[in-house]
Structure 1
Amino acid sequence: MRLLDTLTGQFTDANLDETQYAILSHTWDEEGEQTYEELKKIQRRYVGRRRASKSLRATLSSHRPSQRLTLWLNRITALMLDIRSSDNEANIIPLCARLLDPRTPAWHLNSSTLPQELPSKLFRGCIWDDRRLSPKIREACAVARTNGYRYVWIDSCCIDKSSSSELSEAINSMYEWYARADVCYAYLADVPPGVDHQAEDSFFRKSRWFTRGWTLQELIAPRRVEFLSKDWAPVGSKHVLARLVENVTKIDYKALLHLESLDNFSVAQRLSWAANRETTRREDRAYSLLGIFDIHMPTLYGEGDRAFRRLQELIMQRLPDQSLFAWGLLYLDSRFSSNPDLAYTTKILHAKPLPYGQRHLLSGSPDSFKNCEAVSTIRRDATTTLASSSHRSKIEYASTPYGICTQFQMIPLTRDLLLRVIPDAEDVQLKFDAPEDYRWYLAILECEHAERPGDRLGRVCYIPPSDSDVEFVYTGSIVVSSERNYSSWPSHLFPLSPETIEYCRSQTELKTVYIPHPDRRDLLWSLQLQPYTSIKLVLLPETRDALRSQGYSASLSDPDPDHPTTQRLALSNDEHAIAVEFQHVLEDDGEAFTIDAAVEMSVHLRVDSGTGTMDSDRADRPTVSWTDSSVFGWRPRLDFERVMLSALGGAGTVTVDLALDFAGAGSYVLRVEIRSEASRTSSAVELPVGGDQRSEMGRNGERDVPVGEVGTEDEGSVEDVDEMAGVEVREAAVTRDRHCQRA
C-alpha cells in the first residue's frame, strides 16, 4: 500500500500489519484532483532535503522528564519495529546508534506516530510551502500530522490510475484499507463550521458527501470516522453523530458502529444504502459495493451497467439470500380506500410486464432497492407453516448457457389470490395486459418486511410459452385502476401471510426456471424513459413488400412544417383505396402521448399520400387510438387495433389491423395487416425493431404472437352506410377493446 508521509511529503510503501495511518474520504472537485503523476513531479524537487538539526534539538530539550521518558519508550518501540522489519543484519548497528543519539527524535525513525507538537521551522522551505501542491493534500496531511499520524492515504494521489492492474487492486482492496485505518477523516467541502448540524435543512444533512457511491463503504468500513467542515475544523465523530448519520443515509446505526456484522443485514438492505448514490463512471456503482459484500471481481471499465449484473451474480454464488429479488414497490397500504378515483367504481388490477431493462429478476441498478431498507431475510431455521411443509426448497443457483437456473415456489396469479393479499379489494377485476399465453405467478421469496413480520414476499412474475423445457422467468407489476383512471404507482411485491400460503398449498408449484442473460435490447432501455419532443412513424421496406404481395401499394407521408403532428398512410389496389390519417398529441412535457388513426376507404379512388386530402370533418370515420407514458418506460409494443371496412357492390369486407413498435427517440415502426372476406388468411407482415424480429418477444425461449392470430376472433359490426364516389360504403367501428391505455 502506497502511503503519503506527512513529514516529508514523499510516498512510502507500507506494511499494513505494522503501520498506523490515517485515511481521507472526500468528494472529488469538479475541476479535478491532483493525481499521482502530478504529485510525483512536485516531490522530485524535494527529495533528499535535510531537516534543521537545531530545530530537532530544540524539540527534545523542551520536553520535561516525564515526556523524555515517553520519547525514549517511543524510540525503543520504533527500534524494535525497525529491527523486526529489517532484512539485513548490518542495518541493526546503525539503528542502535541512532537510538542512543539524543538528537534523534522518536518519530525520526520509522515510526508511524508523531509527537503532538512539531516546530514550525521544521517545515520551512519544504514541499508544504509549494504553491503547486493541492490545498486538499496539504490540509489533509496537516490534520493527520497534528493528530500524531505520520502517514495518510488519499485515493486521488496514492493510486497510479495509469496502471489498470494497480487500479483494479486498489478497488478490490479499498474496503480493507479503510477498515484497517486508525482513523478516517471525512472532509465535507460544502459544510461550514459553527452551524447547527442537527437542523432539518442543515448543510450537514444536504452534503454532497452523502450522495456519492464510494463514500458508502468509506463511512461503514472504518471503526472511527471524524467529520471535518470545509475549513478542516472538527464537526464530530461517527459515534457522536450516529443517529443523525442514520437519519441521513438510512443505514442502521448498528451497521455504522460495527455493533452488528454486515452479514446480519440482508442483501436488499445493503443495496438500499447504495440507492440514489452517484458515481462518475457507471461501473463504479457496482465496484464501490464490493467490500460491502466481501466480494472480489475484476474491473472492466466500459461494461457499463453490466458491472452491477456481474456483482449480483457473484452475490448469488456466495449468499443464499432471496431478498436480492425483492426490489421494487411492496403493496402495504390501502390503494382502494385512500384513492378517491378508485372509490365507488369497479376496480381493475392490471398485470403488466415491465419494460426492457427492468423485466429481469436481477435489477439493473441499486436505485431499484431504494425502498428496501426494511426487507430482511427469513433465516433457514425459522419455524413457519411453509418451513415445515414439503414446499420448502433449497436455494441454489447454476450458471448455464441459457442463464441462471434456480427454483422458486410459485402460486398462480388469480383474482382469488389477490383478494386474499389485498384486504380492501372487493369489487375488482383482474386483467392481463400481455399475450394470453403468458403464465402469471407470485414467486414466494424467503424474506419479509418490517411492517409485515412473518409474511413472506410474493414477487409478481410471468413465464412466456416455450417450445422446450427451458422456461424463462421475467418480472411484472400489478397496477390498480378504476374504469376512469390508473393509480399512480405499480406494485411488484405482495405480502403473503402463512394462512394465505397454506390456503394456496395445493396450487403452489416448485418450478425450475431460468433468469436469462441480458439482452442487447436491454442496453437501450434508458431510451424508454426519455420524453419526446415529436413522434414520427416509419414504414419499413419489409412491410411494403408484404403488402405488395397482396396487391397493395403503400406509402407513408412525412410530417410537414404546416402539419408537424400528422402523417398519412395510403394503401391502394385495383379495387379500392384505404387512407389512414395519424395525428399525435404530446402531453406532460413529452412524457405522455396519444396517437389517433382515422381510417376511410373508397372504391376506384387512389389517395395520394403526398398531396391528397381527407375529409377531416367527417365524424363517422372509424378511429383507433394508442396512449402511452414514460413514467414506467415507453412500452415496446402498442398492440394491434382493428378496423372493419365493407364496400357494398364490389370490394367485400376488408379488415385493417394497425400496431406500433417502439424504435426509440420518438420513432415508431408502423405495422399494417390487411385481410379480405374472401380469404381469412393473412400475410405475415414482419416489422422488426432493428430489422431482425417482428416484436419484442421471441428471444430466450419466448414465442412471437403470430401475425395471423392477432384479434382474429372479432368479426366486427356494421354501423354506417354512406356514399363514396357513387358507391355505397359500410364502415364498421372498432370492435376490439382498446387495451393499450395509458399506464
Structure 2
Amino acid sequence: MRLLDTETGQFVEKDPEGAIYAILSHTWDRDGEQTYEELKKIQRRYDPESNLPPRRLHAGGSDDIILSPPQQDRGGPVPPAPSSQLPSHSASVTARRPTARKRLTEPEVDALLLFFEVHGISDPTPASASNDHNPALGAEYHVTSPQSIWDDPDLSPKIRNACVVARNNGYRYIWIDSCCIDKSSSSELSEAINSMYKWYSLAAVCYAFLADVPPGHDHQAVGSDFRKSRWFTRGWTLQELIAPINVEFLSRDWAPVGSKHALDGLVESVTKIARRALLHLDPLDKFTVAQRLSWAADRETTREEDKAYSLLGIFDINMPTIYGEGDRAFRRLQEQIIQRIPDQSLFAWGMGLPAGSLSPQPSSSASNNPVVLDAVQTLQSLFADSPARFSCGGSVHRIQLLASYNRQLQYTFTPYGIHARFRMIALTPDLLSRVLLPHRTVERALLGDSEGWYLLILMCEHAEHPGYLLGRVCHITPSKHLYPGYIRTVTGRWSREPETAMDLFLLSPESIRPLLPLAEVEVFIPHPDRVDLPSRLRSQPYVAIRLVVLMETRDALRAHGYATELRGPDPGHPATHWLTLSKDEHTIVIKFQHVLKDDGRRFKIEADARMSRTPESSSRLERDRDYVFWWDSMQWSLRPNAPPSQTISLGAPAEGGLAVDLGLDFAGTGVYYVRVEILGAPPAYSEAPVEPSLFVRGSSRGAIEPASG
C-alpha cells in the first residue's frame, strides 16, 4: 500500500495490516485532482531527509491550515506533538508566518557576480542601495526559495491540509486516493479498487472532508449544508463512510464538525443507512442484499462502471475492473453476489411497495369500479440494471421459511443463461382476484398464455408485514427463459381512476398454506442482450415522437393491394402523423396524435382510424371509425417483450368490413416503427370501452428499447 508521509511529503510502501495511518474521504474537484505523477514531480525537487514539517507558532503545537498555496517558504522543522483529537483551536485560515531567508556567504556572492559578468547580465543593485531602500535587509543578498515540499506553491492545498490535519493528530502516514494510486497502471488501479474497502476499514481514522459545508452552522437543522453535502450523494463515499470504525467529518476550512458516532442519528437520516451498520454494531452480512443496495440507490458516479465497483467491499467481493463495459459491470456484480450470498432479496427490486395489502384501501367509489388486469412481460432481466432500482429495498428483510420451502439455492452458468430452480405459484385470474387483490372488483384478467405466468416466491418479507412472502410477477417462455413482468390495471377509456402497475405482491401465510407444496420450476436467466441500448439512452425523456413505416411493412401491404403513405408532422401539426392505406374499394386513414407530459417522461399516442368507400363502390359502412391508444410512463422502467398490438374494427362483417392490427416497435429515443396487418373481417361489434395498451418499447425478437425510469 502506497502511503504519504505527513512529515517528509514522500511516498512510502507499507503493509496496511501493520501500519497506523489516516485516510481521506472526499469528493473530487470538478477541475480535477493532483495525480500521482504530478505529486511525484513535485517530490523530486526535494531531499526526502530535509522535507520535514514547518515550524509551529501556536502554543498548542499544531500546524496551520492554509487554504491557498503559500508564496513564501516557512521556517525550520519542529516534530509534531501527538494528539488524540483534532486541534481544539479553529483550523481556519491564519496569518502567514514571516519567511525565513537564507544569507549567501561571501564566496557565493563572488561566484554569483562572476556568473552575471560571463553571461552579460547587469549587476544586481548594490547592497548599499538595497539597504537605503529597505534597511531591514542586511548587507548580504537575500534569496527566497522553498525550504520544504509543504511550501511548494504547486502542491495541492487539499493534499497539504490533509497532511496537516493528520500530522497534528499524531499520524505519520495518510492515504489519499487521488494521489496515492498510479492510475496509469490498470493493474494497480484494479488492485486498489478491490482493496479499497479493506484499506478504509484498517485506517485508524478516516477524515471525511466536506468541501461544501461551512463551519459553525447548525448541521442538525432541516436543509442544512451538512444534510445537502455532495459527499453524501457520491457512490464511492458509501464504503468510505461504512468501512472505517472512526470517521471524523471536516468542514470546508478543515475544522472539525463531529464524528460518525457523535452524529449517528443525523447521518442515518441523511443516508438511510441503518445505524447499526454505520457503527459496526451488526456485521454487514446481517443486512439483506436489497437493503445494502438501497444505500446506493440515490448515489451517483462519474463512470457508469463505478456504480458496481464502488460496492465490491460492501459485499466482500473481488472481481476484475473493466472500464468500458458500462452497466454490465452491475450485472457482473450481481452474478458474483448470487454465487456467494444465498439471498433472493437481490430480485426484490421494482416499482415501489408491493401491491395487495400494502397498498392503502381504495375509496368506496374506486372499489366499485371494476378493473381489467393485463399481464405484460418485459425484456428487463431478473437482474436490475442499476442500484437505483432498489430505492425501496431498505424495507426488504430475511424471513424464516417453512420447512417445506427451505432449500439450497444453486445457480449454474451455461451458454443458455444462468440455470436456476425457483419456487413458483401459477398466476391465474382466480389468484389475482381472490388472493392478491381482494379489495378490487376484477372484471377479467388478460393473461394471454396463462401457463407461462407465475409468481416467483422470494425468501424475504417486507418490514411492515412480517411473515408475508414476496412474490415477483414473471413470465417463462417456451425455451424456459425467465423474464420479469407486471400486472397493470386497465380502467377503461373514460375512467378517472389512475392506472397502476404491480410487479411485487404480498402473500400472507394463510394464502400460501393451501398452495403448499410450492412447485419448483426450472428456468434460465438469459445472458445480457448485446443489442440493448445503454441505460442512459434508454431512460432519456422524449422531446418529440416520430413514426416510421418500414419497407417490409409497405411490401406486405402492397401484397394485399394497398398503397401506403405516411405524412407529418408539419409546422401546423407538430404532434400528428397521418397514415393512408389506399385500395380500389376503400381508403383507410389512421391519424396518430401524441401527447408528452412531465417533460417527456410520460406520453400517450392515440390512433383514430376512418375507412371510406370509393365512389365506384356501392356498399355503405355502418361503422367506419375506430379508436385505440397506447401510453407509457418512464417511472416504471418497463420494457415489454411482445409489444401489445391494438385491433381496430372498421365496418361490420356483412358489409365487407376489416379488422386492422396496429403495433408500435421502439427504434430509438422517440422513434417508433408502425406495424400494420390486415386481418380480414372484423369481430362482432361490441360497446365495451376501449382498453389502452402499454406503450410499445421493443419487438418480440428483442429489438432495442429504452428502460424507463
* The two structures share one fold, judged by TM-score above 0.5: yes
Q: Deviations over 1:35-69 (max 9, x none)?
A: 1112122222223463699989x99xx99xxxxxx
Change (3 A) 1:676 1:222: closer
Is the 8 Å Cα contact of residues 537 and 669 (structure 2) preserved in structure 1? yes
Unaligned runs of 5+ in 2: 61-76, 89-96, 101-144, 697-709
Q: Work out whether 1:167 is the aligned partner of 2:167.
A: no
Change (3 A) 1:325 1:640: same
Q: Deviations over 1:692-718 (max 9, x none)?
A: xxxxxxxxxxxxxxxxxxxxxx6234x
Q: Work out whether 1:134 is the aligned partner of 2:148.
A: no
Partner of 2:468: 455
Partner of 2:118: none
Q: Work out whether 1:657 is the aligned partner of 2:661.
A: yes
Partner of 2:375: 351
Q: Work out whether 1:530 is the aligned partner of 2:540.
A: yes
Partner of 1:689: none
Map residues 100-111 of structure 1 onto 2, 5 A cutoff.
none
Match of residue 274, structure 1, among 296, 319, 322:
296
Q: Find the aligned partners of 2:525 and 2:278 in 1 and give their Cα distance.
A: 34
Is the 8 Å Cα contact of residues 480 and 486 (structure 1) preserved in structure 2? no
Shift of 1:34: 1.1
Deviates more, 1:638-647 or 1:667-676: 638-647
Shift of 1:481: 6.0
Q: Which amino acid aligns with 2:29?
A: D
Shift of 1:525: 5.5
Is the 8 Å Cα contact of residues 3 and 175 (structure 2) preserved in structure 1? yes
Q: Find the aligned partners of 1:502 and 1:523 in 2 and give their Cα distance.
A: 43
Is the 8 Å Cα contact of residues 426 and 451 (structure 2) preserved in structure 1? no
Q: Find the aligned partners of 1:449 and 1:214 in 2 and give their Cα distance.
A: 28
Is the 8 Å Cα contact of residues 456 and 471 (structure 2) preserved in structure 1? yes
Match of residue 237, structure 1, among 246, 255, 259:
259
What's the secondary structure of 2:543's corresponding residue?
coil
Q: Deviations over 1:538-589 (max 9, x none)?
A: 1111112222223333222242333333333333344444333333344444
Map residues 42-191 of structure 1 onto 2, 5 A cutoff.
42-48=42-48, 50=50, 125-191=147-213
Q: Work out whether 1:740 is the aligned partner of 2:696.
A: no
Match of residue 505, structure 1, among 503, 516, 537:
516
Is the 8 Å Cα contact of residues 443 and 459 (structure 1) preserved in structure 2? yes
Shift of 1:457: 1.4
Partner of 2:626: 623
Change (3 A) 1:296 1:31: same
Shift of 1:201: 2.0
What's the secondary structure of 1:255's corresponding residue?
helix
Q: Find the aligned partners of 1:128 and 1:53 in 2 and give their Cα distance.
A: 7
Q: Work out whether 1:669 is the aligned partner of 2:669.
A: no
Q: Find the aligned partners of 1:262 and 1:463 in 2 and give their Cα distance.
A: 34
What is the TM-score of this pair, normalised by structure 1?
A: 0.76
Is the 8 Å Cα contact of residues 197 and 239 (structure 2) preserved in structure 1? yes
Map residues 483-562 of structure 1 onto 2, 5 A cutoff.
483=492, 484-485=495-496, 487=498, 490-505=501-516, 508-524=518-534, 527-562=537-572
Q: How much identity, in percent, do the aligned residues show?
A: 52
Total equivalences in the alignment: 618
What is the TM-score of this pair, normalised by structure 2?
A: 0.79
Is the 8 Å Cα contact of residues 20 and 112 (structure 1) preserved in structure 2? no
Q: Which amino acid aligns with 2:514?
A: Y
Shift of 1:436: 3.4
Unaligned runs of 5+ in 1: 64-103, 607-617, 678-713, 718-732
Is the 8 Å Cα contact of residues 55 and 78 (structure 2) preserved in structure 1? no
Q: Find the aligned partners of 2:18 and 2:437 in 1 and give their Cα distance.
A: 61
Is the 8 Å Cα contact of residues 80 and 168 (structure 2) preserved in structure 1? no
Shift of 1:140: 0.5
Change (3 A) 1:223 1:522: same
Q: Find the aligned partners of 1:657 and 1:414 in 2 and give their Cα distance.
A: 27
What's the secondary structure of 1:674's corresponding residue?
strand
Q: Find the aligned partners of 1:541 and 1:604 in 2 and give their Cα distance.
A: 30
Map residues 383-402 of structure 1 onto 2, 5 A cutoff.
386-387=402-403, 389=404, 391-402=405-416
Change (3 A) 1:547 1:489: closer
Shift of 1:239: 1.1
Change (3 A) 1:287 1:595: same
Q: Work out whether 1:24 is the aligned partner of 2:24.
A: yes
Q: Find the aligned partners of 1:554 and 1:54 in 2 and give their Cα distance.
A: 83
Partner of 1:477: 486
Shift of 1:251: 1.3
Is the 8 Å Cα contact of residues 248 and 260 (structure 2) preserved in structure 1? yes
Q: Find the aligned partners of 2:595 and 2:229 in 1 and give their Cα distance.
A: 41
Q: Find the aligned partners of 1:540 and 1:184 in 2 and give their Cα distance.
A: 59
Q: Find the aligned partners of 1:300 and 1:54 in 2 and give their Cα distance.
A: 43
Match of residue 683, structure 2, among 680, 690, 715:
715
Partner of 2:220: 198
What's the secondary structure of 2:361's corresponding residue?
helix
Deviates more, 1:184-193 or 1:596-605: 596-605
